Structures are given as structure tokens and as C-alpha cells.
Structure 1
Amino acid sequence: MLKKLILMLTMLTTPCVLLAEDFSQYRDELWYQKNAISNLTVEDNSLHFLVVGDWGRNGHFQQKAVASQMDNLMYWLDAEFILSTGDNFYPDGVASVQDPYFQSSFEQIYSYPHLFEPWYLVLGNHDYRGNVQAQIDYTQTSRRWNMPARYYKIEKQLEDSNDTLLLVFIDTSPFEAKYQTESKYINVRSQDGQKQLDWLSNTLEQSTAKWKIVIGHHPMYSSGKRYGKTGSVRAALEPILEKYEVNAYFAGHEHDLQHNQIADKNVHHFISGAGSAVRDVKPRSFTQFARATAGVTSVSINPEFMLVQMVSAQGDVIYHTRINASR
């Protein structure tokens, strides 16, 4: 009798619980005003976008909390698009365009009102454990998913200006030396690394953009787990980025938020790989900021400067830096 009573009570209360959960997702102007992000700087007449990486975990860890703050940031900044630094699906990428992970890790998690803007994505090493072409082909299925090739470029006009921002999206896995021998990364070996480097050089050399930003998965410098283990990627890419005066390089791979600036180097190195799980970091000689916290990075660009702000899953600006235009 007692068991039946408990079952009846459960059946009666469950719909109310579900209704409460559904209602908690409702957002209007009042919700955003009540959940304003602490210490966020909103620059007028700037182009705003977000950078997030290492997120595809079916809502586990802090993926949902980060998604919520991404929506909040998009509202307050009136941001126009989102960049992904890779590892879009853990642990082994996707199998096909119909893989349910596209729904459970992407569509259903980033379903808040202001996240239905263009996403521009690169491939991470975990994506290479699955069907890479499926992620490229999903571009034809989704209105917001943009990955037309393994590497590509886009150009954006700055607000109230004739100046432009060049965004170059690269595939860094071919430049990680150990992937050339590990069986789980056999798909990496189909990529012609030198062809991509030639394309990158030509793209940057021919650009007249005011700002040049390159986005890849693997960092060239890290204050985290892979400190001292980024040499092969750095050797391939850093000379090109320095030669053509790239302003910033955004990566993921490390599950944290970082800003690294190397003495006598021009490129600012940012890591935004804290889209779900996190792990420890340790300050190094080149570390400007490093924190093992889930979160996302926002970027605001105008002809005079670029403002980078890192926001935790709890909705606090935990770091910001302003980079002046070099020309």
C-alpha cells in the first residue's frame, strides 16, 4: 500500500517539476536585466563576437551553464556571431550528418534565444576520431553551423568604418607531430599540411584587413597541461603569423581560459577551451592570465582597439585586456 501511495504521489508531482524546469528556460528583457554580467564592458560602435571551445559533451560538466552565459553575453553585447575552437564532439566526433550528437551536444544545448546567430567552427583532435566530412556537410543542413572546409576564411566589416576584420580558420591537427603515428588519428594523415600552410601564407599576405585573427584548435603556447608540448604546432604556424602581423591567435585544446604573450613577439595568444570541462593551469613566464574555470571569451573590435573579456559560467568577467591597433 505504501509503495502504491508513493508511486501515485510521484506521478502527480512529476508534471509540475517538468513544468517548472521548462519555465526556467523562459527569458525576456526582465530576465536579462536581472542577470546582468558583472563588470562587463560594452563598447559602442564595435563588432562583437564570442569564442568558445572544447564543448561537445551532451550537456555534461558545465556545458549548459556556459551556454546560458553565452546567451547572456550575446544579448548585452548585441554580438553577431560565435567562433568555436574545436573539439565540437567528445569523445570520438560524429558518425554522420544524422548523428544524434548534433542534436544532443549542439542544437539542444545552444537553444537560448540569442545563440541562433552564425557559428564558425574548426576541427579539433577529438573531431578527427570520427567523420570529419560529416561536420563539413552539416553546413548544408544547419542555418547557423558554418564549416565549409577544413580551413577557410571570412571577412567582416567593422561598425561605421571602411575597415575590415579578417578571420582565418585553420586545421591544426596535421601539425601535431604525434598524430602522424597514433592509430586513432589516422584520418589526420589525409590532410596536406604544406598545402594548408601555403594557403595560409597567401591569405594573410594578400589581405588588407585592419585586423587579422587566426583560429585553430591547438595552442602554440600553454600555461596548462600541455606546457612545453606545443613545439611542432608552433614551429609550423608561428613564423607565418608573425611575418604577416597577425594580431591574435585563438585556440582551444586546453580546458581553461588563457592569455599568453611572449616577449619580443607580436601575436597575442588566447585559449578559450573551457566550454564544458576544466583542468588545472599554472602561471608561466609568458602567462598574462590563466584560470581553470568554465567560461567563454568575448571579443569587441573597432578601428582603434580590440577588447577581449573572459566570462565565467557564473556570469563574472574574470579577465579583460585591450589591444591597440598596430596600423
Structure 2
Amino acid sequence: MLNENPKLPRWIYLLLIFLVLASCRMDQDAGELIPEFTEYQKESGIDYLEILVYGDAGTGDDGQRLTASAMSDYVQNPVNQIEFIINLGDSFYSVGVESVTDPQWYSTFESIYDPDILSMPFYSILGNHDYQGNIGAQLEYVSPNNDRWQMPSFFYKQSRTLPDGTKADFLFLDTESIFYGDAEQLVWLDSCLEESDADWKIVCGHKPLFSNGDHGSNGPLIARLQEILDHRADLYICGHEHDLQILDKVNGVYYIVNGAAARLRDTSVGDNTILAASRIGFMTLLMSESELVCKVIESGSGIINTTVLKEK
């Protein structure tokens, strides 16, 4: 209880209490920015490529299961035609897997993602927690469900071409290795971006360059990657932070953080924030000849934002 000073009237103390409570409420809301939006509608006669992206899922707990169920619901909607899924790493908390027969392959992957619905490829990369285990096992594992787990190398490329000729390149990185100065991977990435004739160039890593989340921006990755990405990639999407962020473009590149598939941490709003949400969920990327669109889905609630990132 406040120790009232008899020299001040009681209404001042009531005003102080109100201001304290109001500031607490402001602090509670300050970590999120979810703009109003109009749900994106596909145009008839236009070819689209849509992929589903999630990160930091490997807990085996209720949060991961909720997201997996929401992913199934999204994929089952006939309006949504998901070509493949991107897994941004930290697939097995907290110390990775020991081998291709580790029980976690079942408990945090095969039993979580319904093989009858989510049967498409899961293109996966390594996170820092995966590095605590046998990273080679993630290359060697063969899923009994349509061979859906895919990690052909520690860094690799996938491409897709739409019927109208629109092409998208997806470049998958091992950011743990880059953090410690993997020159070979940087040369590879630079070459891929330089030689690509794709309409859309999407780079996927586990750790962020820029972030307003708990970990913040990553100086070593900015130093090693940003110049390679500048004005050549359209988007860098990552996990690591247990939140959802869309950050405004830097030198032509949008930066997205998508690591909230199982557990959450607080996030914050910066000068570059388009969206910041501490919500369990995932995203999809929708591409056509003329547009690159990001949908943000809160598990159990549905689409909470659609942002048109680029128009040509």
C-alpha cells in the first residue's frame, strides 16, 4: 500500500496509481505490432507458387503439435496449394539427434506432422541446437513417409519454375558454419546469386542478420552475409528468435524472422518493423510473376497478417 504523504492530496496518489498501471499496460503491448490487413486474393489465370515455412519447432510439446495441426489445416484448404515446406532449423531440442535411429525422429518429426497431409518435402537446415548432436545424421536420415525429410547437404539450392516461366531460387544456408567463417559457403552463395536468372531469390538461414527479438541483430553474420545479399536477394528468412517478425528492406532485401513454431519469447518494435508478434505460428511465401507475398499464421487462430513484400 502507498505510504501517503499528508502534504499531498489523495487524488495525486490515485493519479500516480493510474499512471503506473497505464505504463505497465503500454509495456505489455509495446512488443507487438500487427498491422491491419486485407486478406490476399489470388487472381484467376495467374500462376502461383506457395511454400510453407516454420522454424525452431523441435520440442515435441503442445506448442509444436498446435502448429503442426494448423499447418495441416492450412494445407487441406483447397485454396492453398503448398509446393513444399521449409524447416529453418533447431529441429531437435536441445542437443540434436544422436543417430538416424534416435527416438526423436519419431517423437518430434514423424509423429508430429501428419504424413497423409504433410507428405511434401521438408527442406531443412541446421540450427545451433542441432549442432549439439550428430549433424551428419540429419543428412543421412531417410523418412519412412514419402522420404519427406530433405537435407541433401549442409548448404544447398532448390529451384522451381511456374508454368508461365516464372522462376524462384531457394538457397539454404548453414549459419552456424558461416558464423565461424566458412569461406567455401560464402563463395558458393555469392556465385549462386551472381549467376541466378530467377525472378525471385529467397535465402534461408537459421540465425538472423537483423532482429528486434531477444537475441537481437547478429554482427558477425551481418559482416559476412549482408554485402553478398545486397541488391541481389529478394528475401532472407530465418528462425532462432522465438517470435515472428517482418522487417523492412535493407538495400533491396527484406528480412523475416520466423522461429515461433513451438515456444515463444518476447519481441519488440524497431524503426524497421513491419510486423512483430510473439505468437505461436508459421508463415507462407506466395509468389507470382509480379508479386512476393508473406502470410503470417497464428496457430489455432488463422491468418493474422498478409504483407505484399515486392511488386514487379
- Structure 1 stretches of 5 or more lacking a match? 1-37, 178-191
Corresponding residue of 2:17: none
Q: Structure 1 residues 140, 205: CA separation in 2 closer, same or farther (over 3 Å shift)?
A: farther
In the alignment, is residue 106 of structure 1 matched against residue 109 of structure 2?
Answer: yes
Corresponding residue of 1:62: 63
Q: Structure 1 residues 71, 102: CA separation in 2 closer, same or farther (over 3 Å shift)?
A: same
In the alignment, is residue 265 of structure 1 matched against residue 234 of structure 2?
Answer: no
Please say if residues 40 and 306 of structure 2, whose CA atoms lie closer than 8 Å, have aligned partners that are also in contact: no
CA drift at 1:156: 0.4
CA distance in 2, matches of 1:90, 1:61: 14
SS in 2 for 1:113: coil
Structure number with higher helix proportion: 1
Q: Residue 167 of structure 1 is aligned with which of 165, 170, 180?
A: 170
In the alignment, is residue 285 of structure 1 matched against residue 261 of structure 2?
Answer: no
Q: Structure 1 residues 104, 140: CA separation in 2 closer, same or farther (over 3 Å shift)?
A: closer
CA distance in 2, matches of 1:140, 1:255: 26
Please say if residues 71 and 112 of structure 1, whose CA atoms lie closer than 8 Å, have aligned partners that are also in contact: no
In the alignment, is residue 150 of structure 1 matched against residue 154 of structure 2?
Answer: yes
Cα RMSD after superposing both structures: 1.8
Q: Structure 1 residues 100, 140: CA separation in 2 closer, same or farther (over 3 Å shift)?
A: closer
Corresponding residue of 1:183: none
Please say if residues 39 and 316 of structure 1, whose CA atoms lie closer than 8 Å, have aligned partners that are also in contact: no
CA drift at 1:141: 6.1
Question: What are the superposed Cα offsets for residues 95-151 of structure 1, whole Å, 9 maximum, x if unpaired?
Answer: 000001010000000016321111101100000000000001014766111100000
Please say if residues 38 and 306 of structure 2, whose CA atoms lie closer than 8 Å, have aligned partners that are also in contact: no
SS in 2 for 1:115: coil
In the alignment, is residue 88 of structure 1 matched against residue 84 of structure 2?
Answer: no
Please say if residues 58 and 91 of structure 2, whose CA atoms lie closer than 8 Å, have aligned partners that are also in contact: yes
Corresponding residue of 1:126: 129
Q: Residue 216 of structure 2 is aligned with which of 206, 218, 227?
A: 227
Q: Structure 1 residues 108, 135: CA separation in 2 closer, same or farther (over 3 Å shift)?
A: same
In the alignment, is residue 236 of structure 1 matched against residue 237 of structure 2?
Answer: no
SS in 1 for 2:70: helix
Matches within 5 A, 1:134-213: 134-139=137-142, 143-158=147-162, 160-176=163-179, 193-213=182-202
State the AA in 2 paired with 1:146.
Answer: Q
Matches within 5 A, 1:305-316: 305-316=291-302
Please say if residues 249 and 269 of structure 1, whose CA atoms lie closer than 8 Å, have aligned partners that are also in contact: yes
Corresponding residue of 2:242: 255
Moved over 3 A (4+): 38-42, 139-142
TM (norm. structure 1) is 0.79
SS in 2 for 1:114: coil
Please say if residues 206 and 240 of structure 2, whose CA atoms lie closer than 8 Å, have aligned partners that are also in contact: yes
CA distance in 1, matches of 2:41, 2:106: 32
CA drift at 1:175: 3.2
Q: May I ask how many residue pairs the two structures share in their alignment? A: 270
CA distance in 2, matches of 1:139, 1:269: 32
CA distance in 2, matches of 1:118, 1:175: 25
Please say if residues 213 and 249 of structure 1, whose CA atoms lie closer than 8 Å, have aligned partners that are also in contact: yes
Q: Structure 1 residues 241, 219: CA separation in 2 closer, same or farther (over 3 Å shift)?
A: same
CA drift at 1:234: 1.2
Corresponding residue of 2:52: 50
Please say if residues 39 and 306 of structure 2, whose CA atoms lie closer than 8 Å, have aligned partners that are also in contact: no
- Structure 2 stretches of 5 or more lacking a match? 1-36
Corresponding residue of 1:9: none
CA distance in 2, matches of 1:48, 1:120: 14
TM (norm. structure 2) is 0.82
